[in-house]
Amino acid sequence: MNSFALYEPTSVAEASEILARHGDTARLYAGGTELLLAMKEGLIRYDYLVNVKTIPGLTGLRLDADGALRIGAATPHRALEREPAVRERFPLVARVESDVANVRVREVGTLGGNLCFAEPHSDPATLLQIFDARVRCETARGSREIALGELFVGSFETCLGEDELLTEIVVPPLPARSAAAYRKFGVLERPSVGVAVAVALDDGHVADARIAVGCVGPIPQRMPAAEALLRGRGVDEASANLGEAGRRAARAAEAVSDLHGAADYKEHLVGVLLRRAFDEALATLGAGPRR
Amino acid sequence: MKAVRELAITVRVNGERHELTVAPSELLIDCLRDRLGLLGVKKSCDVQVCGACTVLLDGRPVSACTVPAFETRGRTLRTIEGLADGEALHPVQEAFVEHGALQCGFCTPGMIMATVALLAENPSPTADEVKHYMRGNICRCTGYQRILEAILDAGRRLAAAPR
Amino acid sequence: MKIEREVTIGAPRARVWDFLWDVPRLAACIPGASDVRAVEDGKRYAAVVADKVGPFRVKFPLEIVVLESQPPDHLRARAGGRDTMVDGLVKVDLDLALADAEGGTALRLAADIAVLGKLGTLGHSVIVRRGNDIVDRFTTAVRRALENEDAA
């Protein structure tokens, strides 16, 4: 790992100014569980690392008045895995967070860091999109809030400006009578396909369907064309449409053939995992599959 | 604000206070092995996947291979060398020995430190909880069954005589 | 990884063939290539290739050797380069075939690309996608260059 100098700012504004001053020779550092690995491998080098853990207010989580989960960007995965508020109100988030890497990575690695590194096989980055999660991004000059899906521009690339910090992740609760499920499959270190589904039912109809697919495309993304095949349909019709919904999702992700599998195999897997996640969500709502 | 190229830190390692000056890029594993002579921390995969370098930072398991040394400032660190009390083995160590939960022994310090952290957090884990927690500690030799039995047994021992 | 592409270029075969040997113009079609020169005309060429995926950058000297040339049908070349900063090795076996087609010339490209060393740890998905992207941009650029030449 190359030698670097360390900044330890005590405010977001200070960190933002440091980033503006040094441009791409500086990088924000939280847990470093992905960044330091890349630096150790020699894939990337930075002259300056900017420690965000010394900025108060970026760690911790709470439920707000609307029941949304507000997570400081520098909160370790382990906190999301273990906090009672998350386990009770957002059990799927707690479960997926508990499956990130291993316990040592979860103790040190942060959700914000995971999202900002924008590795295409991230489970949280896929899952949180079905909650319509948002992220707060701040510079010395101001802040903005964007949909999580907008954060990811490409593999290892976010829309954050050079002097911009991700400071908070907001996860709204699902609508009433909703359930969510996450399924993934892979045999390599990272999964080959990840599918997140949230379903809201209203009198035997799919009032809302949210589908996110990760690992297959360069970024994890919501699949509106697939969702359209489920939303507003009766449960049986939506169920019957799952195969085609899976194909639409895989094509939208632009699967390529690589070590994780052939493109058509991934397309097939998206359909399978979509069906399983959908059925699991329905079962949670007490509206099991009827086939 | 200036960037620093070295930090003066104080860290308590296995109960002993150390004052060190470290570069920000110095990794904990190199600090522990090369400067403090604690060779029980093993450099194996070097990418946080295998767990052979597991040490406890304020009781939490971390990968020494990927944590910068300066992150230990003002904190307590425990390695395998800090478990036994003189000649008396720690109950987790005893359980590993009695259950034959090691062959070459290379993964063992990491396995034991992770177990200590697990049992401090969850004194009576189920087998599934053990497997989930220990998923990031890899063993090439044993096939894991005896490690699992040792951990469950260690939990019972510690419940009987907490350390 | 093996990548195959076929593109129809609105230009006669002889002109497409000549274009492939017009080193500066062909090099301008390769994404990220610069400092292209002939080391031995018709046989060996050198270039510097730069690319980046997110924050990960590579820049390395590429050596290109023409293995076989059958004007105006077929060209086989091998290229290789090593990025010393990142410890990555890139090897490309390239096969270009030209055939008459309706509307001009069909250019068939087959590339066998290997990315070795630490660079590979970025993830195979990322590398395959980038490989496809580079080949797509190359074939599109060649077609545009030749078809605009027509219009000029």
State pLDDT tens for residues A140-179: 999 999 999 999 999 999 999 999 999 999 999 999 999 9
Bridge-based pairing state of the strands A134-138 and C2-9: unpaired
- Determine, yes or no, domain membership for B1: no
In Å, how far from its chain's centre is CA B151?
14
Do B62 and A5 count as a contact with CB atoms less than 8 A apart? no
The pLDDT of residue A282 is above 50: yes
Listed in sequence order, the DSSP H helices in chain A are 12-22, 35-40, 77-82, 84-89, 91-98, 103-108, 111-117, 123-127, 148-151, 224-227, 235-240, 242-253, 263-284
Predicted local distance difference test score (pLDDT) of residue A291? 44
Backbone phi and psi for residue C100, each to the nearest 5 degrees, phi listed first: -65, 145
Q: Residue A81 is encoded by which pair of tokens?
A: 């895995």
- Which residue has tokens 């895995």? A81
The pLDDT of residue C150 is above 90: no
Predicted local distance difference test score (pLDDT) of residue A289? 53
Q: Residue B110 is encoded by which pair of tokens?
A: 């990491």
- What is the domain range of residue A277? 181-284
Predicted local distance difference test score (pLDDT) of residue C122? 76
Mean pLDDT of A34-53: 95
The pLDDT of residue A130 is above 60: yes
Q: What is the CATH number of the domain that holds B136?
A: 1.10.150.120
Write down the number of H helices and E strands in chain B.
5, 5
Predicted local distance difference test score (pLDDT) of residue A198? 98
Q: What is the CATH number of the domain that holds A229?
A: 3.30.390.50
**Angstroms from B4 CA to nearest CA on chain A:** 5
* Domains of chain C (ranges, CATH numbers): 2-151 (3.30.530.20)
The total number of structural domains that make up chain B: 2
CA distance A61 to A72: 6
Which of B34, B50, B82 is the endpoint of a domain?
B82
Q: What is the CATH number of the domain that holds A25?
A: 3.30.465.10
- How many percent of chain A have pLDDT more than 90? 89
- Do A82 and B118 touch, CB atoms closer than 8 A? no
Which of A122, A145, A171 is the endpoint of a domain?
A171
Q: Which of A:19-38 have CB within 8 Å of C?
A: 24, 27, 38
- Residues B12, B76 share a domain: yes
In Å, how far from its chain's centre is CA A251?
20
The pLDDT of residue A40 is above 60: yes
ipTM beyond cut 0.90: yes
Of the candidates B119, B130, B114, B121, which has an alpha carbon nearest to the alpha carbon of residue B62?
B114
Q: How many CA atoms lie within 13 A of B108 on its CB side?
A: 22
Which of A171, A203, A237 is the endpoint of a domain?
A171
The total number of structural domains that make up chain A: 2
The pLDDT of residue B44 is above 60: yes
Helix C13-21 and helix C124-151, axial crossing angle in degrees, nearest 10? 120
- Residues A211, A68 share a domain: no
The pLDDT of residue C118 is above 90: no
- Residues A189, A167 share a domain: no
- Residues B124, B78 share a domain: no
B19-58 in b/e form (b: 16+ CB < 10 A) is ebebbbbbbbbbbbbeebebebbbebebebbbbbbbbbbe
State pLDDT tens for residues B58-87: 999 999 999 999 999 999 999 999 999 999
- Do C129 and C113 touch, CB atoms closer than 8 A? no
State pLDDT tens for residues A175-213: 999 999 999 999 888 899 999 999 999 998 999 999 999
SS3 B3: coil
Do A108 and B136 count as a contact with CB atoms less than 8 A apart? no
CA distance C61 to B159: 63
- Residues B155, B131 share a domain: yes
Predicted local distance difference test score (pLDDT) of residue C151? 57
Q: Which of C:9-38 have CB within 8 Å of A?
A: none
Do A119 and C123 count as a contact with CB atoms less than 8 A apart? yes
- Residues A185, A167 share a domain: no
- Determine, yes or no, domain membership for B2: no
Residues 6+ apart with CB under 8 A from C53: A154, A155, A156, A157, C122, C126, C130
Bridge-based pairing state of the strands A26-29 and A48-51: parallel
- Determine, yes or no, domain membership for A167: yes
State pLDDT tens for residues A44-94: 999 999 999 999 999 999 999 999 999 999 999 999 999 999 999 999 999
Q: Residue C95 is encoded by which pair of tokens?
A: 């096969």
Bridge-based pairing state of the strands A134-138 and A69-72: unpaired
- Residues A187, A167 share a domain: no
pLDDT band at A288 (very low <50, low <70, confident <90, very high): low
Which of B41, B63, B82 is the endpoint of a domain?
B82
Backbone phi and psi for residue C33, each to the nearest 5 degrees, phi listed first: -90, 145
User: What is the side-by-side order of every strand in the sheet holding A69-72?
Assistant: A61-63, A69-72, A165-171, A134-138, A143-147
- What is the domain range of residue B22? 7-82
Chain A interface mutation, best of B5, B29, B31, B63, highest count of A Cβ atoms under 10 Å: B63
Amino acid letter for position C122: L
Peptide bond into C72 cis (omega under 30): yes
The pLDDT of residue C130 is above 80: yes
Q: What is the CATH number of the domain that holds B45?
A: 3.10.20.30
